[in-house]
Amino acid sequence: MGIGAATFRELAELGARIALPGASVMLGRQRCRLKHPHRRHYRKALDRNGHAGADLKSFFDDSGYAETALEKLGFGTVETMDFSDYEGARHLADLSRPLDPKFHNRFDFVLDGGTLEHVFDIPQAFRNIFAMLRPGGTFVSVNGFTGWPGHGFYQFQPDLVWSYWKYMAHCEVRRCIALPANPDDAPFDLPDNKGSAERREYDKMVPAGRVSIYYEIFKPADARLDGDVLQADYETKWLKAKEDERDA
């Protein structure tokens, strides 16, 4: 997927907000090129987040990959991890299989800029990300929400984010938004639906074209994998049905 102007804007804000990480990893070696039609959006993102007056072009190197931009935005030295070495990733790993323990608790920041949608075993990939992230670390993911037919195996929904990361992994979901690829279109929140018997659907809110789901996860010291991953509206209906049976 790569890091376009809209994702760059979110990462610039995050880089200015969190403490400098000791070690960062990017899943897949994501592309990041200065797209001139959106130049003002890159400039505004830098000006608002501690980089006023910085040379815009210096955030983008000739390789076309994102390491330089991420490091300049405040994410420390950025390593890369991919299934194949065809784009020169530093670490090779299959996220559909349990991760080598040498990667456990290794990173303070993990960025998925569009890799998970190409990984078949999403539950195992989530467990791997949880394992590699140190307590106090942050995980950011940007994958297709709608408008990406044929791009990868999956498009993702907010119930998956909230149910896995908040209720299964006991982490903090600090941001979960719909992020249009066109930076002229405003992002909007994708809130937790826990406790509601009504399904949240976004047909009337989503602009035309490609829209990603962008979410930010903080891993506290007491995070653990011991909850359930259930779609919120069904969970509420099931609980109500059990209560009705007890009261009958």
CATH number, domain at 198? 3.40.50.150
Q: What is the pTM of this model?
A: 0.95
For residues 22 and 78, what is the distance between their CA atoms, to the nearest angstrom? 10
Structural domains of the chain, count: 1
What value does the mean pLDDT of the chain take? 95
For residues 140 and 214, what is the distance between their CA atoms, to the nearest angstrom? 7
The whole-number pLDDT of residue 169 equals 98
Question: Out of 19-23, 42-46, 197-201, which region has the weakest mean confidence (pLDDT)?
Answer: 19-23
The whole-number pLDDT of residue 95 equals 98
The whole-number pLDDT of residue 246 equals 84
Mean pLDDT over residues 215-242, rounded?
Answer: 94
For residues 246 and 98, what is the distance between their CA atoms, to the nearest angstrom? 42
Supply 121's token pair: 């075993």
* Banded pLDDT at 1 (limits 50, 70, 90): confident
pLDDT at 247 over 90: no
Mean pLDDT over residues 179-188, rounded?
Answer: 96
pLDDT at 22 over 80: yes
* Banded pLDDT at 77 (limits 50, 70, 90): very high
For residues 2 and 219, what is the distance between their CA atoms, to the nearest angstrom? 24
Residue 195 structural domain: 5-247
Instruction: Identify whether the C-beta of residue 136 lies closer than 8 Å to the C-beta of residue 109.
Output: no
Strands 107-112 and 133-146: parallel
Counting Cβ atoms within 10 Å, is residue 200 exposed (0-12), middle (13-18) or buried (19+)? middle
Eight-state DSSP code of residue 194: T
